[in-house]
Amino acid sequence: MTVNLETMKPGDLVAEDVFGPITHEMLIAYAQASGDKNPLHLDREIARQSGFDDVIVHGMLGMALLGNLLTDAFPTTSLNRLSSRFVSVMPVASKIQCRAELVEISATAARLKLEASIYGTDRTVITGSADISRPVAH
Task: Classify residue 66 by its DSSP letter.
Answer: H
Q: Is residue 126 part of a domain?
A: yes
For all residues of the chain together, what is the average pLDDT?
Answer: 94
Q: Is residue 5 part of a domain?
A: no
User: 137 falls in which pLDDT band (50, 70, 90)?
Assistant: low
Task: State pTM to two decimals.
Answer: 0.92
**With b meaning 16 or more CB within 10 Å and e meaning fewer, what string describes 85-113?**
ebeeebbbebebbbbbbbbebeeeebbbb
H or E element that contains 38? none
Task: Classify residue 138 by its DSSP letter.
Answer: -
Q: Is residue 113 part of a domain?
A: yes
Q: Is residue 88 part of a domain?
A: yes
CATH code of 122's domain: 3.10.129.10
Q: Is residue 38 part of a domain?
A: no
How far from 108 is each of 47, 131, 136, CA to CA, in Å?
Answer: 46, 10, 6
Q: What is the pLDDT of residues 17-75, one digit of tens each?
A: 999 999 999 999 999 999 999 999 999 999 999 999 999 999 999 999 999 999 999 99
**In whole angstroms, what is the distance from residue 104 CA to residue 63 CA?**
22
Q: Is residue 46 part of a domain?
A: no
Task: Classify residue 90 by its DSSP letter.
Answer: -
pLDDT at 19: 97
Give the number of domains in the chain: 1
Amino acid making up residue 96: I
H or E element that contains 104? strand 96-105
Q: Is residue 119 part of a domain?
A: yes
CA angle 51, 56, 59 (to 5 degrees): 125
**In whole angstroms, what is the distance from residue 59 CA to residue 73 CA?**
22
Q: What is the pLDDT of residues 69-124, one digit of tens each?
A: 999 999 988 999 999 999 999 999 999 999 999 999 999 999 999 999 999 999 99
Q: Is residue 110 part of a domain?
A: yes
Enclosing domain of residue 127: 13-22+57-133
pLDDT at 138: 54
